[in-house]
Structure 1
Amino acid sequence: MKPILQNLVEMTGHRDHLRLEVSVLTTLQAFSGMVQVRSLEVFMLDGEYYCRPRTWMDGRGQWLSAGTEAQSDPQRVRVADMPALHECLQAHASQAVAKLGKGRHALWLPVWMNDKVHTCLEVIQARPFSAQKIDTINSVFQVFQNYQSLLDYSERDALTGLFNRKTFDEQFARATTHDTSEPIALELPRDSAEPGAEGADKQWLAVVDIDHFKMVNDRFGHLYGDEVLILVANILRSSFRSHDRIFRFGGEEFVVLLRSTSLATAHKVFNRFRKNVEDYYFPQVGQVTVSVGFVSAENGSPVEVLGRADQALYFAKENGRNQVRYYDDLVAAGLLQTKQVSNDDVELF
């Protein structure tokens, strides 16, 4: 019991979802008789539940975390092929137990948030689960879930549910660097990029601004303005992959960290999002458009990269709006001048 309590103390010391998840998996791994403990990502594809490994331990005792897009992950499986888990998700139940074969008994613990499930902890051991062991595992799981909710509350924008400004620096560092000082070694495999494509396998940062948003508030009121923000946030979520990161910086401004793709794909993805907003009918308000400025996220500090994307954004807004502009193209065409921005010079947003 003492090692488990020590693991719980460590678990609630984390301020990061991924390391919190690794910590609860480490705690469960410490139980006797464990064969495998991992986190599964649950997602919808063609109207069906699928799942794929998200965080797991390899044969060397190193925790790995998936970085590829869930829908294209070759390890994905239909939840319908896992009858006990499928029934559990359909019933919105708290757990499922099944025998997988000789010496393999599984316990699944879905993480429900607002009646939706995106994550499920999978615990496999050699013997059937006793009622006492399930209760103990459930207690650890509840501590994990409660603490995860606290993290969500502190990291998320209250209106849209997107990441807030204070989480940006950490997420930016994770997307653009590999921090070897972390006590838990996590390998984050990247998506394969198009062979020979310019800017292949790079990270991109975009600043998004809703065009004429002040007019929406002035004409229709802040209640409909808030509805527009929520709907744009929903379009952002559906337009990008699960491992890309989306932030609301305040007001009508959003930031997107697009991970591991080529310049050509970045252009396509950002323009697809812009078109999705343009084609959407916003109740009472009608048509809404957005302007986007983006830049490579790999050259400079967060404030420098944000500054360049912000320059591209405001060029877009001053030259017709409802368009996507790439900073390097504007500089190459002589339409923007490069600026040196330091952390002491400006505070963005």
Structure 2
Amino acid sequence: MTVLVDQLARLCGLRDRSALLVAVLFAMRGELLPLGLSVLRPIGKGDYARWLTLARLDADDTLPYIEPEWIDIDRLAPLASEPERLACLQQGLPVQAAGSPCRYFVPVQPELDVAAVLEVRTPQPLTPAQRQLIAGLDRLHRNLCSLLDENERDPMTGLLNRKTFDETIARMVLEWFDTDEAGVCSALPSQRLAFSASELERRHRTRRQGCWLGIIDLDHFKSVNDRFGHLIGDEVILLLARMLKDTFRGQDKVYRFGGEEFVVLLRCHDEADALHAFERLRQAVRAHEFPQVGHITVSVGFTALGLDDTPTDAFARADDAVYWVKQHGRNHAASHESLVRDRCIALGDKAGGVDFF
């Protein structure tokens, strides 16, 4: 009991969401002595819906396995491959799976608007007291995550705010670029896996995929507020935030930086794929009829992230691109790299006039 109390005290002092989830798993493992614990969430849609492992801790692990946030989705198991786990997710109730070892599934919520499943693998079925312990730790975890959400989320839209932006860029650069010749992320030693030859090739292709930062800015938003009032303007912001969530993938990061400006971090194979993703959003916004306001548009500027990039440098390039788009007709998406290639802007120019960092 003393060990559990110490672990609970440590939990209350954590401010990193991943560290908090791992600490909960360690606390459960110390009390339940299971074969293993995993937390998984669904990502993707339709035929591309997959199980993403947020964290896994087996009986003999000294370090947990944590899936990189921008993993190759083809590696992941389809949702339908685990019917009991899927039933737990859909019904929002614990499920005891048949077979050996025993598997007990519990619905959990590691962050706002994210439904996930805790999987507990044990040699014998859990006792009522053990299930009660799991439920209690889950409630504690949810409460602590709610406090983090208040600190890391935009209160109006529920999107991420700027607080975690720098840290996220640093982490994604490490995950994508610090990769050894075996295709393993050397910055994350607890995540190393053995791969087949075909998997190694896929890993190398994944490593060559790009990391992209995009800025989405509503066109003429001030006139919306002036003509229809701030309540209608807020409704436009909320609807756009919902469209951003629906357009981009679960593993992409969407931020509201304030006012009518949004930022997206995503992974794509190349510049054309990134342009396609941002164009999909731009066209969806243009086609949507907003209540009372009618049709509005967005301007998008984006850029590739490099190994030596700082958040300030990457943001400045995307800001230059969106500024150029706004100066040349709006309702368009353009990459900083394409604008430099076409000599629309010069490398190193500061086209925009706002410094956010």
TM-score (ref. length: structure 1):
0.84
User: Using the alignment, how far apart are the partners of 1:234 and 1:51 within structure 2?
Assistant: 23
> What are the Cα deviations for residues 37-94 of structure 1, in whole angstroms up to 9, with x where unaligned?
0001035744999744332247865413154569755412328821x862x555544x
1:211 and 2:222 are equivalent in the alignment = no
Cα offset, 1:281, TM superposition: 1.5
The answer to whether structure 1 residue 40 and structure 2 residue 40 are counterparts is yes
Pick closer, same or farther for the CA change 1:283–1:72 going to 2, 3 Å. Answer: farther
Are the structure 2 counterparts of residues 80 and 186 from structure 1 closer, same or farther at C-alpha, using a change threshold of 3 Å? Answer: closer
Equivalence for 1:111:
109
For 1:77, the equivalent position in structure 2 comes to 79
Deviates more, 1:229-238 or 1:22-31: 22-31
Tell me the amino acid that sits aligned with residue 78 of structure 1: A
Q: Which residue of 1 aligns with 2:153?
A: 156
Identical amino acids, percent of aligned pairs = 34
1:190: Cα distance to partner? Answer: 12
How far apart in 1 are the matches of 2:201 and 2:115?
20
Aligned to 1:56: 56
| Aligned partner of 2:67 among 43, 65, 68 | 65
> Once the 2 structures are TM-superposed, how far is the Cα of residue 335 of structure 1 from its aligned partner?
1.6
Greater relative contact order structure (CA < 8 Å, 6+ sep) = 1
- 1 CA distance for matches of 2:292 and 2:69? 39
Q: How far did residue 11 of structure 1 move?
A: 2.5
Aligned match of 2:4: 4
Indicate the structure with greater strand content: 1
Give the alignment partner of residue 145 of structure 1, picking from 142, 146, 170. 142
Instruction: Choose from 270, 281, 291 the match for 2:278.
Output: 270
Change (3 A) 1:89 1:314: same
Unaligned runs of 5+ in 1: none
| Partner secondary structure for residue 64 of structure 1 | coil
Instruction: Report the equivalent of 2:130.
Output: 133
For residues 308-345 of structure 1, what are the alpha-carbon distances to aligned partners after superposition, in whole Å with 9 as ceiling and x for unaligned?
1101001000101010111122122222123378xxx9
Task: Determine the C-alpha separation between the residues in 2 that align with 1:202 and 1:336.
Answer: 22
2:169 corresponds to 1:172: yes
Q: Which amino acid aligns with 1:290?
A: V
Determine if contact 1:291/1:321 at 8 Å carries over to the other structure. yes
List 4+ stretches of structure 1 deviating above 6 A: 47-50, 179-184, 187-191
In the TM superposition, residue 127 of structure 1 has moved relative to its aligned partner by 1.3
The CA deviation at 1:278 is: 1.0
Given candidates 302, 325, 331, the residue that maps to 1:316 is: 325
What is the CA-CA distance between 1:280 and the residue it aligns to?
Answer: 1.3
Match among 107, 118, 122 for residue 121 of structure 1: 118
| Aligned mates of 1:281, 1:288 — CA distance in 2 | 8
Contact 2:245-2:254 within 8 A present in 1 as well = yes
Aligned-residue offset at 1:256: 0.7
State the Cα distance separating 1:97 from its structure 2 match. Answer: 3.7
In 2, are the aligned partners of 1:68 and 1:191 still within 8 Å (CA)?
no
Structure 2 stretches of 5 or more lacking a match? Answer: 179-184, 194-198
Structure 1 or 2: more helix by fraction:
2
Aligned partners of 1:321 and 1:28: how far apart in 2? 53
Q: One-letter code of the match for 2:136? A: S
Judged with a 3 Å threshold, the aligned counterparts in structure 2 of structure 1 residues 165 and 269 are, in CA distance, closer, same or farther, namely same
Deviates more, 1:116-125 or 1:215-224: 116-125
Q: Secondary structure at the match of 1:255?
A: strand
Q: What's 1:237 paired with?
A: 245
2:98 aligned partner? 100
The 2-side partners of 1:75 and 1:297 are apart by 29
After the TM superposition, which residues 308-347 of structure 1 pair with which residues of structure 2 at under 5 Å, given as runs?
Answer: 308-339=317-348, 347=355
Aligned to 2:315: 306
Check whether the contact 1:100–1:106 (CA below 8 A) recurs between aligned residues.
no
* Alpha-carbon distance in structure 2 between the residues aligned to 1:167 and 1:57: 25
What secondary structure, in the 3-state scheme, does the structure 2 residue paired with 1:208 have?
strand
| Contact 1:247 1:254 (C-alpha < 8 Å) held by counterparts | yes
Which amino acid in the other structure matches residue 172 of structure 1? I
Contact in 2 for aligned 1:53/1:76 (Cα 8 Å): no
Residues in 1 aligned to 2:201 and 2:218: alpha-carbon distance in whole angstroms: 30
Q: Deviations over 1:266-318 (max 9, x none)?
A: 11111111111111111111111100011112242111111111010010001
Deviation at 1:117, TM superposition (A): 5.3
Q: How does 1:182-201 map to 2 (within 5 A)?
A: 185-186=190-191, 200-201=208-209
TM-score (norm 2): 0.83
Q: Deviations over 1:97-119 (max 9, x none)?
A: 414313414142332988x6521
Shift of 1:147: 0.2
